Amino acid sequence: MRQYSSLRRNLTGYAFISPFIIGFLGFTLIPMFVSLYMSFTSYNLFTSPRWIGLDNYTKMFFDDPKYWNSVKVTFLYVFIGVPLRLIFALFVAMILNTGSRMVGTYRTLYYLPSIIGGSVAVSIMWRNLFSNEGVINSALTAIGIGPISWFGDPNASLVMLISLSVWQFGSSMLIFLAGLKNISPEMYEAAGVDGANPIRKFFGITLPLLSPIILFNLIMQTIGAFMTFVPAYIISKGEGGPMDGTMLYSLYLFRQAFMFNNMGYASAMAWIMLIMIGILTVAVFLTSKFWVFYESEGGK
């Protein structure tokens, strides 16, 4: 009898969370496995999928220079963009932590780009800022460096894309700010009594105590950066140009799927991306024991 009623109670619970479960099954889990199946087929949306075994994967690895180019561009974007973004976020967080006037307003303002972050509107704004007669080029001309062809030069266009990602530092900044607030002022006072200068305080106290938060930010931002799509799509008008300089992995995947209708190939790309992100995340976790410091462990 007791078992029966607990089952009944659970069923009610399941009924209440069923919207999530159905959504998860219908829109996440099942599509994931369908895409795994698709990745072994040739499928163009119109005719039924045709099983081709590992052909998509062998083409990707051995016969598609554009694929490797997109991997290269994405790694550049992630490995330059994410550290810069985190350093910048920490820098701003520390300034905002000093408690000067109107600090609340500044926090809000700096966070704003993240709320609208990744959106189409921001990307269009970025495009305008960097256009031929945009603000950036006018400023550069004024100090005599001359206009740079941001959309024409393959290297410059990636710099522009990274700068957009650095500018959207708000969410990591807020998390850093919360972490900074958690460091007790007594530590700094004690260090001050011992004669530590601000630089020593930063490396001796702030960084170690913040390291769990850095780890969190690093992983979340890296995963996010790998999946960046909207800015590259809008800024390059969906073409990833010039010379594939802004052809991020997800943009190339999108082009294969929705412009060339190579759904099978795109599915294979998606799975490799999942594996790459997985490996990278595990690697960061493995290194973390050398540099992340948890107070509760009493200094390791």
Interface pick for other proteins out of 40, 67, 126, 150 (rule CB under 8 A): 150
Q: Please check whether residue 139 is in contact with residue 55, taking contact to mean a CB–CB distance below 8 angstroms.
A: no
Binders of other proteins: how many residues, by CB under 8 A?
37
Nearest distance, CB of residue 274 and other proteins, angstroms: 23
Query: Tokens in use for 32?
Result: 């994931």
Which of 171/267 has CB closer to other proteins? 267
| 67 in contact with other proteins (CB under 8 A) | no
| 260 in contact with other proteins (CB under 8 A) | yes
The residues that bridge with 51 in the sheet, in sequence order, are 41
Alpha carbon distance 68, 38 (integer Å): 21
Q: Please check whether residue 222 is in contact with residue 280, taking contact to mean a CB–CB distance below 8 angstroms.
A: yes
Cβ neighbour number for residue 199 with a 10 Å cutoff = 8
Query: Tokens in use for 148?
Result: 């740079």
Write each residue from 163 to 202 as x if it is in contact with other proteins (CB under 8 A), else as -, in one continuous string.
----------------------------------------
At 45, which amino acid appears? L
| 45 in contact with other proteins (CB under 8 A) | yes
| 141 in contact with other proteins (CB under 8 A) | no
Interface pick for other proteins out of 108, 138, 141, 149 (rule CB under 8 A): 149
Write each residue from 47 to 66 as x if it is in contact with other proteins (CB under 8 A), else as -, in one continuous string.
x------------------x
3-state class (DSSP) for residue 42: strand
Query: Tokens in use for 72?
Result: 């290269």
- Buried b / exposed e over 135-144, threshold 16 CB at 10 Å, is ebbeeeeeee
Query: Tokens in use for 169?
Result: 């530092």
Interface pick for other proteins out of 129, 241, 277, 280 (rule CB under 8 A): 241
Binding site for other proteins (CB under 8 A): 4, 7-8, 11-12, 14-15, 18, 22, 26, 42, 44-47, 66, 131-133, 149-153, 237-239, 241-244, 255, 258-262
